[in-house]
Amino acid sequence: MIPRFALFFVTSLLLSAAALSAATIGTNPPAQPVTAERIAALPEAQRSAWQDYLARSQRQWQADQDFFQTELKAHAIKEVIAPPGGHNAGLPLDRSAAWYGEAEALRIADIVVSFQTPAGGWSKNLDMTRHARQPGEQFSGGDQSRFLTPTDNDLPHDPHWSYVGTFDNDATTTQMYFLAKVATAAGADRGAPYRAAILRGFGYIFASQFPNGGWPQVWPLAGGYHDTITYNDGAMIHVLELLRDAADGNGEFAFLPAAVRTRAARSLSYGLACLLATQVVVGGRHTVWCQQNDALTLVPASARNYEMPAQSSGESAEIVRFLMSLPDPNPKIVTAVHAAAAWFEKTALHDVAYRFTRGEGRRLVPAPGYGPIWARYYEIGTDRPLFGDRDKSIHDDVSEISPERRNGYAWYGDSPKRTLEHYAKWSKSHPAVPAPASNH
């Protein structure tokens, strides 16, 4: 549970710039990285685990860098090679079982293995269907914003070494699912290198899990909002789904050693505990989740300049669908799902649509009979829709932000609609857990 004082602190930050202009209600504060100084301020009982975690991350960061520099030296490479950009769409997970044993799938799987980082993860937004990684070829394309400024929340520590190992944009988990399918279809001998890569991938997941059960967006840690517990784009949920499948040991993960399956189950349990602990509580009532939470305090955190600490409808909808997929949810999970569904019902918008309008770009416009839809972000405590811009300003009217952000970001969506449709069936077999009787 996120402490009340923490929510008050976040809300105060958001509203501190309210007097700057009539159109601006706040300024987005930057997320805080995991540092030795912040760890030293933790209660004594928590420090040791976090100190070990930070040291492990720093060792891996150095090992990854050393691997690449040694490779450059060994091959006398003067200029590094940029990898081919793309997306995980080249790694299909919906083909027939037989396809994963065919030549094309095996070719792609070999490329996937070649791009696995020394730490055991993968980067994002790479085309892994073209060619195997060559000596001196970067593990990541960088994926830097075209709008970076010296004070940007997304400013990388090293523009030539970012997202080298991440869960963002379906990375790492997609590669592991794909390799598992190929390893199963390829058989014992041909599938051996793919199974080895999968085991290294699980090592990456276990090593990157925070002491409190969450996962960062990027590991080894990269600083800034990349260090936060990340639900954005399904990052942590996809890890939990993978761990659930691994712990079950069914289908493509039947080859996993018992020790790995046991550790996956334990890691899943810790992750679920963190997930429940980060559900926002307002006035004693559970609501939904934010996109990011501070790794050390669990306080809602910002991400990019225009992504403020706020309740997030889309990420929360995916979280609830995952919780409803669990075969034997405990009372805490059941309570969390019912509370989130109630919040979705409360905040739904009807008879409006977010559409392109002639000459004005995207706007929220009247649309009788349309909906429900939800704003992407809601202010904690008031459920007021929030909208951010690249200058870190926060607004309560989407028409007030710049055309570039208004037209280039999903400020409204209907993801909770599918979640509520599933909830209508799920709730019949999982009734709300009665609140404990009061002693007063």
Rg, Å, the chain Cα set: 22
Active site residue 304: yes
Residues 6+ apart with CB under 8 A from 252: 177, 180, 181, 183, 184
CA dist., res. 61 & res. 68, Å (int): 11
The CA-based angle 10-15-17, given to 5 degrees, is 125
Whether 12 shows a pLDDT value over 70: the answer reads no
Q: Write out pLDDT tens, residues 22-36.
A: 478 999 999 999 999
CB contact burial 309-327 (16+ within 10 A = b; e otherwise): bbbbbbbbbbbbbbbbeee
How many helices (H) and strands (E) would you count in the chain?
12, 14
In terms of pLDDT, which residue wins out, 425 or 436? 425
Whether 362 shows a pLDDT value over 80: the answer reads yes
pLDDT score, position 435: 63
User: In the 8-state DSSP scheme, what is residue 98?
Assistant: G
Residues 6+ apart with CB under 8 A from 367: 351, 352, 353, 355
Catalytic residue among 88, 125, 169, 305: 169
Q: What is the pTM of this model?
A: 0.92
Helix (H, G, I), strand (E, B) or coil at 402: coil
Whether 2 shows a pLDDT value over 60: the answer reads no
Taken in order of first residue, the domains within the chain and their CATH numbers are 1-30+278-432 (1.50.10.20), 50-276 (1.50.10.20)
Whether 8 shows a pLDDT value over 70: the answer reads no
Q: Which token pair is 324?
A: 């409803």
Q: Write out pLDDT tens, residues 139-196.
A: 998 666 677 777 788 776 776 788 999 999 999 999 999 999 999 999 999 999 999 9
CA dist., res. 319 & res. 322, Å (int): 5
Residue 17: pLDDT band with limits 50, 70, 90: very low
pLDDT score, position 141: 82
Residue 4: pLDDT band with limits 50, 70, 90: very low
Bridge partners (DSSP) listed for residue 126: 85
CB 176 within 8 A of CB 198: yes
Mean pLDDT of 75-86: 93
pLDDT score, position 155: 73
pLDDT score, position 20: 42
Q: Write out pLDDT tens, residues 209-268.
A: 999 999 999 999 999 999 999 999 999 999 999 999 999 998 899 999 999 999 999 999
How distant is the alpha carbon of residue 424 from its chain centre? 26
In this structure, the dihedral spanned by the alpha carbons of residues 122, 58, 38 and 285, taken in order and rounded to 10 degrees, is 20
Bridge partners (DSSP) listed for residue 26: 394
Residues 6+ apart with CB under 8 A from 215: 167, 205, 208, 209, 229, 230, 235, 236, 239, 271
Mean pLDDT of 43-62: 98
Whether 396 shows a pLDDT value over 70: the answer reads yes
The angle that helices 192-208 and 258-277 make with each other, rounded to 10 degrees, is 40
pLDDT score, position 243: 98
Q: Write out pLDDT tens, residues 286-340.
A: 999 999 999 999 999 999 999 999 999 999 999 999 999 999 999 999 999 999 9
Q: How far is CA 96 from CA 112, 186, 248, in A?
A: 19, 13, 22
Active site residue 169: yes
pLDDT score, position 436: 57
Mean pLDDT of 373-396: 97
What mean pLDDT value characterizes the chain? 92
pLDDT score, position 21: 43
User: In the 8-state DSSP scheme, what is residue 434?
Assistant: P
Please give the share of the chain, as a percent, with pLDDT higher than 90.
85
| Backbone φ, ψ for residue 366 (5° rounding) | -60, 140
Catalytic residue among 133, 244, 263, 304: 304
Please give the share of the chain, as a percent, with pLDDT higher than 70.
91
pLDDT score, position 426: 98
pLDDT score, position 440: 45
In terms of pLDDT, which residue wins out, 10 or 268? 268
